[in-house]
Amino acid sequence: MKKFKTKKKFGQHLLISEGVIKKIVDEIKINKEDIIVEIGVGTGQLTEELLKRNPKKVYGIEIDETAYPIIEERFKNFENFILIKKNFFDVNLYELAENNKIKLVGNLPYNVASLILINTVFYIDILKMSVFMIQKEVAERLLAKPKTKNYSFLTVFIQTFFDIEYIMSVPARFFSPPPKVTSAVVKLLPKKDIPDIDKKKFKNFVSSLFANKRKMLRSKIDKDILKKVGIEETARVDQLNVEDFLKLYK
Ligand SMILES: C[S@@+](CC[C@H](N)C(=O)[O-])C[C@H]1O[C@@H](n2cnc3c(N)ncnc32)[C@H](O)[C@@H]1O
């Protein structure tokens, strides 16, 4: 394989543990009808394991043009692999789904992992599942409970739409170069009853409530509305559970 120089600006920490790669791909439970979209191919370690399981298609999205020759060489014999030479945020996943649903996977670039997670909510109707490697700290935020320090905008927004499973922690030594933090693999499954709401407005609503976290809710929401929904006017945002946010929004 050609030599590849990793770049910090793209959050490049390549997976070098075969065991971790296999475990991630096991979690996707690939069958021959699956359309898989991988965010951030890098030099293709994860991609290779995805292709070994014979899905219908693997779309690999990669922003770093210096990785393209390596990826193209490595997967030149795979007709079911398509490299998308773009920034993930410029890709329309609806165009890849072929009236079907997709499985999203990635050892995510940590500098934009939260943004990618938020973005997936807007694709929920074409998602079968997502399996992501993220910073352990972000995984803990995704799974946080009310009244804890990790309970945040990200917790509420993502938990409103997805059931989240913590798969495993991954120490830094399993990457090259090793990141400064511990990582974690999480699985996100769309909830059975996805709330039928304007996701963008709901996002803004939740994020506005989390601004000035220490303030009582009565300074942000009309007291009559709080009363109607059965929430104390002296409560603070981190005391609300995910259903409370939905009730208040509606
Ligand atoms: C943590 S590395 C993972 C690489 C490889 N999948 C692996 O597991 O070894 C993240 C990858 O995402 C790519 N990347 C970063 N930002 C991106 C973006 N906005 N869109 C697409 N790819 C991006 C990086 O260039 C890098 O290859």
Question: Is 65 annotated as contributing to ligand binding?
Answer: no
Query: Could you tell me the distance, in angstroms and rounded to a whole number, from the CA of residue 11 to the centre of ligand 1?
Result: 7
The percentage of the chain sitting over the pLDDT mark of 70, rounded to a whole number, equals 99
Is there an atom of ligand 1 within 6 Å of 49 CB? no
Residues 248 and 217: their CA atoms lie apart, in Å, by 11
- Phi and psi at 169, nearest 5°, equal -85, 150
Mean of pLDDT values over 156-172: 98
pLDDT for position 1: 56
Ligand 1 pocket: which of 1, 10, 25 to mutate (most atoms within 8 A of CB)? 10
Average pLDDT, the chain: 95
pLDDT for position 18: 96
Is there an atom of ligand 1 within 6 Å of 112 CB? yes
Query: Could you tell me the distance, in angstroms and rounded to a whole number, from the CA of residue 131 to the centre of ligand 1?
Result: 14
Rg (CA), the chain: 20
Q: How far is CA 142 from CA 118, 176, 241, in A?
A: 11, 25, 13
Tell me the sheet residues that pair with 61. 39, 84
Mean of pLDDT values over 145-154: 96
Tell me the sheet residues that pair with 81. 58
Interval 36-49: pLDDT, tens: 999 999 999 999 99
Which homologous superfamily does the CATH classification assign to the domain defined by 8-190?
A: Vaccinia Virus protein VP39 (3.40.50.150)
pLDDT band of residue 2 (cuts 50, 70, 90) is: low
Residues 196 and 230: their CA atoms lie apart, in Å, by 22
For the chain, the domains span 8-190, 199-249
Residues 156 and 159: their CA atoms lie apart, in Å, by 5
For residue 16, which atom of ligand 1 is closest to its CA? 9
Is there an atom of ligand 1 within 6 Å of 14 CB? yes
Residues 236 and 233: their CA atoms lie apart, in Å, by 8
Is there an atom of ligand 1 within 6 Å of 13 CB? yes
Specify the pairing of strand 175-176 against strand 14-15: antiparallel
Q: Which of 78, 91, 79, 76 is nearest to 38 (CA)?
A: 91
Interval 51-105: pLDDT, tens: 999 999 999 999 999 999 999 999 999 999 999 999 999 999 999 998 889 999 9
For residue 41, which atom of ligand 1 is closest to its CA? 6
pLDDT for position 213: 85
Is there an atom of ligand 1 within 6 Å of 190 CB? no
Residues 127 and 59: their CA atoms lie apart, in Å, by 14
- Phi and psi at 72, nearest 5°, equal -65, -40
Mean of pLDDT values over 196-215: 93
ipTM of the complex: 0.99
pLDDT for position 98: 85
Interval 206-247: pLDDT, tens: 999 999 888 999 998 999 999 998 999 899 999 999 999 999
Domain 199-249 carries which CATH code? Answer: 1.10.8.100
Residues 79 and 30: their CA atoms lie apart, in Å, by 17
Mean of pLDDT values over 162-172: 98
Residues 134 and 185: their CA atoms lie apart, in Å, by 6
Same fold, 8-190 and 199-249: no
Check pLDDT > 90 for residue 159.
Answer: yes
pLDDT for position 108: 98
Query: Could you tell me the distance, in angstroms and rounded to a whole number, from the CA of residue 226 to the centre of ligand 1?
Result: 43
Is there an atom of ligand 1 within 6 Å of 60 CB? no
Is there an atom of ligand 1 within 6 Å of 45 CB? yes
Mean of pLDDT values over 200-208: 96
Tokens of 229: 């929904």
